[in-house]
Amino acid sequence: MNRGDIDAATAHYEPNAVLVVQPGVEALGFVAIREALSGMLAGRPQLVTLGHHVFRSGNLALCHSSWQMTIKGPDGSLIEMKGLSADVLRQQSDGTWRIAIDNPWGTAVLGAVA
């Protein structure tokens, strides 16, 4: 993300993954995730992970992390964002891990459901 490399960013996802773009808005599958991330990369984000914890069970992992990001808005102004994510990763047959569910908003999505 920080390098603006869309290929590297999308390579971390499984083909049928889901990305919570914002509470109430999901991108389903590789093509939609690539499109969502492309829009974000246009703002030249600078993303920092402040801390994380991983719970693993076999080939599944639940990763919670705290993050902050600075991104340029459409008018060129800097927007600061932060969140607590909840992501599900799955270990692939080659031993690597890919994101199956990417929810950077954590429990904030509950407000969109209510």
List pLDDT tens digits, range 3-25. 889 999 999 999 999 999 999 99
25: how many CB neighbours lie within 10 A of its CB?
Answer: 11
* b/e per residue 38-55 (b: at least 16 CB within 10 A): eebbebebeeeeeeeeee
The pLDDT tens digits for 29-83 are 999 999 999 988 888 989 999 999 999 999 999 999 999 999 998 888 999 999 9
Q: What's this model's pTM, rounded to 2 decimal places?
A: 0.88
Mean pLDDT for the stretch of residues 96-113: 90
Can you give the pLDDT at residue 1? 85
- CATH 3.40.50.620 for domain 6-108, yes or no, is no
**For residues 98 and 17, is the Cβ–Cβ distance under 8 A?**
yes
Query: What ranges do the domains of the chain cover?
Result: 6-108
